Amino acid sequence: MNTAAYMDDVPQPLFRRLGWLDWGYALLLLLGAMFAFHRYADFMDAYEIGFLFGSVALFSWLGWFWKPMRWLMLAVAVLSLGAIQLYNGSQESVEQVFLLKYLFASQSAIMWMNVLFVLAMLAYWLGLFARSDFAARVGSTLVWSAVAMGFIGLMVRWYESYLISHDVGHIPISNLYEVFILFCLITALVYLYYEGRYATRQLGGFVLIVINAAVGFILWYTFDRQAYEIQPLVPALQSYWMKIHVPANFVGYGTFALAAMVAVAYLLVDKGMLVSRLPRLEVLDDLMYKSISVGFAFFTIATILGAMWAAEAWGGYWSWDPKETWALIVWLNYAAWLHLRLVKGLRGPILAWWALVGLLVTTFAFLGVNMFLSGLHSYGEL
């Protein structure tokens, strides 16, 4: 065997593959964190400072691992900080500054996110049925733009909460309105990663269906319930645990949703529909498995973090609260799915149907519990 040729085929460790652009990206993140610390340290506790600089390491790694992520991070950082400067320390600036009123104020940016996701879905479906690579590429561009506007909206909303009052200020992942936005963003980002990994855009229209279902909820919740208004946190949510438990949970929810929509495509191809337009069954099966594996890992972490949070807030790790019970049901559902695939070697439509039904179980755990059941987690009633 040619040892030199073999060594060329072995992937090098991540740090050995980094160039000056990679380190420059990390340095920019660090400088941004230092600027934020210098500017807003008075509004941050020790945990938030830790999260701020910990996020530098996390997003540096993400940018090294997945190159498009760095451009998203830089765009969100630059535009969010630029928008914050336009406020001049006053919420009244929203009505006085054109760019805030129509583009970068939190509510404006989130509305743009909603519009862009709808347009992206239409572009993806046009690309699928017309076999237009251009339309599909437009769909991808629109999704990236929607994600950027959504994150800008959340970052600016975070700042706006502190403009109301230091006591009101909080990270915007505390109620149904905010976490539905987070769900859209995480689901879209995970899809974009796999879109690049598998070099296929044919699944975009399917995944955007579930994202736009969430967009529909956001619009209804905004206009019917005025949910966009920033409210103070209830005491139990005034905890550093929220800042790590909620994002981990929604990586799980987002990847489970992605797996379910891939399952729809799998079932169509298995029935002989859109065979020439969609990826092969083997590709769809692999994507479904990887999505559920990632989601299960994050959902497990989120469940453990939630138990630790519960012990601090209520004095016990587990109380069989409806939200906890349904979280366990979701966990057991996907644990069984992975067991059947990995240990028993099961493949085919039954796992696709299982992943699709799993989305219904997850949706009830996420939303249905808030609608129909009450308990300690009753923070997001409709």
Give residue limits of the domains in the chain. Answer: 90-233, 247-382
The DSSP symbol for 373 reads -
Displacement of CA 334 from its chain's centroid (Å): 19
Which strand (E) or helix (H) includes residue 142?
helix 133-164
In the 3-class helix/strand/coil scheme, how is 205-270 assigned residue by residue?
HHHHHHHHHHHHHHHHHHHHHCCCCCCCCCHHHCCCHHHHHHHHHHHHHHHHHHHHHHHHHHHHHH
Closest CA to 80 of 178, 149, 181, 167: 149
At 172, list the tokens.
């915007």
pLDDT of the residue at 327: 92
Closest CA to 146 of 97, 231, 208: 208
- pLDDT block averages, 10 residues each, the chain of length 382: 48 76 92 85 80 89 92 91 87 87 94 98 97 96 98 94 87 90 97 94 96 96 88 80 89 96 97 94 96 97 90 80 90 96 91 96 87 60 58
The C-alpha atoms of residue 54 and residue 52 are separated, in whole angstroms, by: 6
pTM: 0.92
Indicate the residue type of 176: L
Compute CA distances 41 → 57, 140, 155, 159, whole Å.
19, 37, 16, 13
DSSP secondary structure letters along 309-347: HHHHHHS-S----HHHHHHHHHHHHHHHHHHHHHTS---
